[in-house]
Structure 1
Amino acid sequence: MREQEAGAMADGDGEKALLSRMWDFHSGLRMGFMLSAIADIGIADQLVEGPLSVDELAERTGSNADGLYRVLRAMASKGVFTETSHRVFGLTPLAEIMRSDTANSLRDVFRLQGKHFMRNAYAEIGYSIRTGRPAFDHVNGEELFAYLARHPEMNELFSGAMGNAAGQTQQAAVEAYDLTGVRKLVDVGGAHGHLLASILARYPDMEGVVFDQPHVVPGAERVLDEAGVLDRAELVGGSYLESVPSGGDAYMISHVLHQLSDSEAITVLANVRRAMNPTGRVLVIDPVIPEGDAPHQGKFMDITMMALSRGRDRTEAEFIEVFEKADLRLVDTIGLASPSSVVIAVPA
């Protein structure tokens, strides 16, 4: 009898743990919105010199003190900020990532996801599940990059968020791959040049090209100049679905292919294949999704792609397939367990 009671209690405890976990998932929606709002307001930047009272924070940021307190209290319970004394808050290691001025900042990433044109797309993910089409186009009436081209302020924020990402997962992926000997690196879809700037700084004998849409690439000049590498870089505007600059020893395609359908990805890779030197190589930086139930950030990035574009994150087998159709051959994949891997291909 006691064994049965113990088993029932154990089963009850297990059910409570499962329910608690599901409630945590439910709370995650609110946590995401709070992170976006606090990032947009810039609270973490106000706390660089030390803890401040909610009243002081509210005055500095034009916020309501009571509303701000309640949100910071909730976030502090998850380790983002800490209430050092009653109604006084300071930074934590997690909150530091919300600052604008740190190397590992994700502030613009959180700001971006809170904007109506982005969050409405995520909220309509059911549309993508039912139709297989991007929820972004459904709620905004046009595809993502057309929208950004018409809204310069949001395009600037989007590029900043991509720069945050370049400083995190993409940069870590590149650091795992030795680019010694590459004389000319073409960054296809390089946006504002954050990733290329960091690479040129590491390889002083290398020259680089930032290639992206004409309304995007001018923003790379400041980034490359601040990194001290502008004299070794060229900015070229165009569409990678039509052509890419020729003569590169290596072509880096970072977090671009996963925004594209398979047919579009093959078109870009084929354009690179035609433009590259005979001994050149293609470096694709994207999540590589593992098979089965293995946890991986790429599985959630893939949902972002489903909501925002006609793209997808791919398994290694799927990369092999699109490479082959572009007359390329996959030769190595570095960092399979990482959020983003380097997938290397050469002419077939």
Structure 2
Amino acid sequence: MGERDSAVLRDLAGLATPMALRVAVTLGLPDRLRDNAMSSAQVAEELGVSPVALELLLGHLVTLGVLAQGTEGYRTTGYGSALCADAGNGLANLLDLNTAGGRAELAFAELLHSVTTGEAGYARRYGQDFWADLAEQPALRESFDRQMTHRFRDQVPQIVAGYDWGRFATVVDVGGGRGTLLAAILAACPGVRGHLVDLEPTAAAAAGTFRACELGDRARVTAASFFDPLPAGADAYLLSDILHDWDDEHAHRILDRCVEAAHPAGRILIVEPIGGRRGETAMDLAMLTIFGSRERRVDEFRSLASAHHLVLDTLTDLSDQRCLLEFRLGTS
């Protein structure tokens, strides 16, 4: 192995840069320095942090091109402005160590534990699982909802256009978040009625989405867990980016609820990145360390579903990131 290869691997393994970017966002440095250049002493005084240590952080951010240093002090560059809270790309919400996403990614420090045991590293680091944290800390729940809404934003048109949603009279969006996807489906398919199930306060936000889209007469919301009984008798039960957040035991419980609620001729629709097809290897490790799960492959979905007498009918590539697996209820 040559020196160049060693240098590349060293850079890939380095933790200084990813943590420096996260700390910069957590401290609000890109926003603070976007319009007015400031000295490190001024910033340190405003933030109440160590001046000497902050100077080291600012120096690395200059090396990265996130900040520029001039005679008046440090200023956010055009490149660095992508880290500002209002950049519209979701990065600040994802990287801030006080948000659900930023906090969750620190579970990667427990990757060895996860690989050794197959269990999530999140609970080992924080003393309880990811979902318990969200239940106890409303600010984390709100930041997670924002992250999920943004992550899906560019995918929604492709998901709606890539499948015949209009063939169903009723769709239950199980764990449907703030309702962005279901609202788009209903807007594109005037003959479809929707019912979203999610926990409060996410359910309340979804109701607001449907009102804003003037879908109140065709969209219902129930504040509940998808581990509880679901609205019964619908033609389709949609699980969008749900199962990859759970290990097999909990995934079985979710599918149980869908099957017991579905119309006999109903469908269970799973929209997710599929391992080996649309899933990314880095996301596999994120799902492992945070949730003790993974981006399941098609055969793994078949195996998971067969325990519920579900038969895979079709597999559709919706976008470069997600597929749709359509399951029908088979004979028991």
In the superposition, the TM-score normalised over structure 1's length comes to 0.77
Deviation at 1:318, TM superposition (A): 0.7
Partner of 2:227: 241
Judge conservation of contact 1:148–1:155 (CA < 8 Å) in 2. yes
2:248 aligned with 1:262: yes
Partner of 2:287: 305
Query: What's the CA shift string for 1:238-270, capped at 9, x where partnerless?
Result: 232232212322221111111222232233223
Q: Which amino acid aligns with 1:310?
A: G
For 1:199 and 1:37, locate their aligned partners in 2 and report how far apart those are by CA, in whole Å: 38
Query: What's the CA shift string for 1:142-183, capped at 9, x where partnerless?
Result: 222122111111111122212222224566445433323333
2:124 aligned with 1:138: yes
Q: Which blocks of at least 5 consecutive residues in structure 1 are unaligned?
A: 1-13
2:2 aligned with 1:31: no
Partner of 2:93: 108
Cα RMSD, aligned residues only: 3.6
Q: Which amino acid aligns with 1:265?
A: A
Judge conservation of contact 1:106–1:165 (CA < 8 Å) in 2. no
Deviation at 1:137, TM superposition (A): 1.6
**Number of residue pairs aligned between Structure 1 and Structure 2:** 324
Which has the higher mean CA deviation after the structures are superposed, 133-142 or 113-122? Answer: 113-122
**What SS does the corresponding residue of 1:229 show, helix, strand or coil?**
coil
Shift in CA distance, 224/33, structure 1 to aligned 2, threshold 3 Å: farther
For 1:169 and 1:70, locate their aligned partners in 2 and report how far apart those are by CA, in whole Å: 39
**What SS does the corresponding residue of 1:134 show, helix, strand or coil?**
coil
Shift in CA distance, 70/299, structure 1 to aligned 2, threshold 3 Å: same
Q: Which amino acid aligns with 2:16?
A: R
Judge conservation of contact 2:62–2:69 (CA < 8 Å) in 1. no
Shift in CA distance, 238/321, structure 1 to aligned 2, threshold 3 Å: same
Shift in CA distance, 150/82, structure 1 to aligned 2, threshold 3 Å: closer
Identity of aligned pairs, percent? 24
Q: Which amino acid aligns with 2:134?
A: L
For 1:251 and 1:176, locate their aligned partners in 2 and report how far apart those are by CA, in whole Å: 17
For 1:182 and 1:100, locate their aligned partners in 2 and report how far apart those are by CA, in whole Å: 38
Partner of 1:285: 271
For 1:73 and 1:207, locate their aligned partners in 2 and report how far apart those are by CA, in whole Å: 55
Deviation at 1:336, TM superposition (A): 8.2
Judge conservation of contact 1:106–1:161 (CA < 8 Å) in 2. no
2:306 aligned with 1:324: yes
Deviation at 1:306, TM superposition (A): 1.6
Partner of 1:192: 178
Q: Which blocks of at least 5 consecutive residues in structure 2 are unaligned?
A: none
Deviation at 1:289, TM superposition (A): 0.9
Alignment of 1:195-210 (within 5 A): 195-210=181-196
Judge conservation of contact 2:272–2:323 (CA < 8 Å) in 1. yes
2:262 aligned with 1:276: yes
2:139 aligned with 1:153: yes
2:253 aligned with 1:250: no
Query: What's the CA shift string for 1:74-93, capped at 9, x where partnerless?
Result: 457657x574977443334x
**What SS does the corresponding residue of 1:284 show, helix, strand or coil?**
strand
Alignment of 1:13-162 (within 5 A): 15-27=2-14, 29-42=15-28, 53-54=37-38, 62-63=46-47, 74=60, 81=66, 83=68, 87-92=74-79, 95-96=81-82, 99-100=85-86, 102=88, 104-111=89-96, 117-162=103-148
**What SS does the corresponding residue of 2:2 show, helix, strand or coil?**
helix
Judge conservation of contact 1:106–1:164 (CA < 8 Å) in 2. no
For 2:213 and 2:55, locate their aligned partners in 1 and report how far apart those are by CA, in whole Å: 39
In the superposition, the TM-score normalised over structure 2's length comes to 0.80
